[in-house]
Structure 1
Amino acid sequence: MRCSGCAVSSSMLVLLSKMRRSLFLYRVPPNGEKNSSVSLCTEVEYARSIDIQKEETALRIGFIGTGSMGGMLVRAFLQSTPASELQVVACNRSPEKLAQITSRFPHVETAASPEETVSRSDIVFLCVKPGDAKGVIQQVLPYIRENHYFISINSAVMLEEMEAALPCRVSKVIPSITQVGMSGVTLVMHGSRMCADEQRFIESWLGKISKPIVVEENDLRVCSDLSSCGPAFLAVMLREFAMAAVRQGGIPRDLADSLVKEMTQGVGKLLTEEGFEFEDIINRVAVPGGITAEGIKVLHPSLHGVFDQLLVTTRSKSKHHGAPAPDSK
């Protein structure tokens, strides 16, 4: 029996920030009886999920793969979390990529294999190529404990497939390059074994480096186009804007790039910090009959349908994204 919504009263819940394989403690009322009106995980699940340590110890997060996204997550977590609260264990098929991490963060523990990474971790991030994900899951299966959290960062493996293969709690997250700057969105999807407090626990860690937003797995493709692929799409457009200024205005490339970058940062602050909506910015800048309004008239026919076609293309590509790489032999 799962916890019914995990609606635990704050008066009966002590959240821990420095703990190992633990999520929450409940207080027993003075009369020695648990409050029956409060919905809690069953005691069997409590023992499985919580495993409270008598001494405060650092949470151990393992990373299988430290390439572009895996390495970024390692660096982001280490930069945002005191060393006393986090111990990272990492492995990679390429010693060079692992060395890039350990040269900057010498206290990162290295593991010789995915199996060793799993056995030494509380939370495991699977950060391998989509075509390798299912194979690695089978590889580490004998080393997975029920109280593990297993998190995949790619969309190739469905939550249902992960839960069918693994005995532990699973989630799927889609990070973004914006986490290099401790910003942007991490998309989050949780498996059915995750109760509400366990979900909040994982999201609180992701919240150290981003804004975690929970989405439905069926909406993942279009949401990741916006949050994860979006920075590259936007950068392409901004680069073309700057290059057009170089061609049409004769200004130096570095000046054009600098102006576009600063403008983009300013627009981002208006949208995220000052309460502006897209239409607010357009209406404030593009006054009727003005220069900006004339420029927008040029953009409208050129942009019409462009992003629809972009989303159609990415959706089509994603259907084959998780296929294993062909054997080179």
Structure 2
Amino acid sequence: MTTAPPPPAPAPTVGLIGLGRIGTVLLTALRRFAPEARVVVAGRDPARTAAAAASWPGVATLEAARLAAEADMVVPCVPPEAYRAEVAALAPHMRADALLVVVTNAIPLRDLGPLCDRPIVRVIPSPAQAVGRGVALVTPGPGAGPGEVERVVALLRRFCRPVVVDPADGRVAANLAGSAPAILAAFCAAFLDANAARATVSGPAELRAMMVESVAALAALLAEGARFEDVVARTATPGGTTEAAITALDARALGERLVAATVRREAQLLGLAPPPPLARGGSAPSPSLSGEFPCR
């Protein structure tokens, strides 16, 4: 006798407070890839909030306190300087089984615990979630156990790859999941501009299309199992122009400088002592060892 599979968990009600960059990305991802979820929104700019809600069928606008009372997951998407006050205002209205989903890494989770007695889970999203891609970093906060984390992860899986990270590797995860797309985009833009400055016939649109297709081709090769090193080896003919460019790039040294810059800045934002230089082949202590998620 076969046992019937358990019924699927009911679709959650997600309440977004604030529709700036992060709130808009999450709204777009939820409506495009998790249509079964109910989404309610609130904002300090009623006209902007109503316009955003109107662009997605089924999205309701509510006053913040009522949103907090109805949502399974309450997600403040407000600036860091307003976060503590917003959480304190929402907490008394939240249901006993609701989760507070924090989307800023500029506020220590330990500061929010005394303000809200509901389980807290931090999610650091990426703009890529609006197109159903990218990594969302997840870390449990006060009161959140495996069950609460899985509730959040199950929703995120609809439109991205959620990764639960250990705070000890928080800086590394934030660099690769959060900063890397922007760093790669900045390099592509600079490389495109440098070539465009030398072009005599090809126009900007044509050159950009070439660059975009090259990025897409790299993604396709990686998706089929190629390593980054494989792509380099297959393309850079010994003694050729691509090899000359890669030598000029000095990618390893550049990568180390970029990571060192993020580690130094994170220490400044968290009020920690500057980390010691990374010994070749070694690892420097992460400023995230305090248990707090790093600043992206």
3-state secondary structure, aligned to 1:178: helix
Q: What is the distance in 1 between the residues matched to 2:52 and 2:6?
A: 31
3-state secondary structure, aligned to 1:70: helix
3-state secondary structure, aligned to 2:175: helix
The answer on 1:255 being equivalent to 2:196 is no
The answer on 1:61 being equivalent to 2:14 is yes
Please, which runs of 5 or more residues in structure 1 have no aligned partner? 1-10, 20-57, 321-329
The answer on 1:72 being equivalent to 2:25 is yes
3-state secondary structure, aligned to 1:289: coil
Do the aligned partners of 2:75 and 2:102 also contact (CA within 8 Å) in 1? Answer: yes
Identical aligned residues as a percent: 26
2:177 is aligned, of 212, 224, 227, to 227
Please, which runs of 5 or more residues in structure 2 have no aligned partner? 272-296
Q: 1:215 to 1:147 in 2, by over 3 A?
A: same
Q: What is the distance in 2 between the residues matched to 1:141 and 1:209?
A: 28
3-state secondary structure, aligned to 1:228: helix
Q: What is the distance in 1 between the residues matched to 2:174 and 2:51?
A: 27
2:281 paired residue number: none
Tell me how far 1:246 sits from its aligned partner: 1.0
Tell me how far 1:219 sits from its aligned partner: 3.5
1:278 paired residue number: 228
Q: 1:175 to 1:13 in 2, by over 3 A?
A: farther
What is the TM-score of this pair, normalised by structure 1? 0.74
Counterpart residue type for residue 263 of structure 1: S
Q: What is the distance in 2 between the residues matched to 1:211 and 1:309?
A: 26
Structure showing greater radius of gyration is 1
3-state secondary structure, aligned to 2:95: coil
2:152 paired residue number: 202
Counterpart residue type for residue 18 of structure 2: G
Tell me how far 1:122 sits from its aligned partner: 1.1
Extract structure 1 runs of 4+ deviating beyond 6 A. Answer: none
Matched positions, count: 268
Q: What is the distance in 2 between the residues matched to 1:312 and 1:18?
A: 40
Q: 1:16 to 1:158 in 2, by over 3 A?
A: farther
2:37 is aligned, of 86, 91, 105, to 86
Q: What is the distance in 2 between the residues matched to 1:186 and 1:304?
A: 22
Tell me how far 1:158 sits from its aligned partner: 2.7
Counterpart residue type for residue 17 of structure 1: P
Q: What is the distance in 2 between the residues matched to 1:61 and 1:312?
A: 33
Q: 1:73 to 1:120 in 2, by over 3 A?
A: same
Tell me how far 1:304 sits from its aligned partner: 6.5
The answer on 1:268 being equivalent to 2:259 is no
1:176 paired residue number: 126
Tell me how far 1:59 sits from its aligned partner: 2.3
1:160 is aligned, of 110, 116, 131, to 110
Do the aligned partners of 1:130 and 1:156 also contact (CA within 8 Å) in 2? Answer: yes
Counterpart residue type for residue 256 of structure 1: L
3-state secondary structure, aligned to 2:230: helix
1:95 paired residue number: 46
The answer on 1:122 being equivalent to 2:72 is yes
Q: What is the distance in 1 between the residues matched to 2:51 and 2:216?
A: 29
Name whichever of 277-286 and 93-102 sits farther off. Answer: 93-102
Q: 1:194 to 1:319 in 2, by over 3 A?
A: closer
2:59 paired residue number: 108
Do the aligned partners of 2:119 and 2:148 also contact (CA within 8 Å) in 1? Answer: no
Q: 1:221 to 1:117 in 2, by over 3 A?
A: farther
Q: What is the distance in 2 between the residues matched to 1:95 and 1:236?
A: 35
The answer on 1:17 being equivalent to 2:8 is yes
Q: 1:304 to 1:135 in 2, by over 3 A?
A: closer
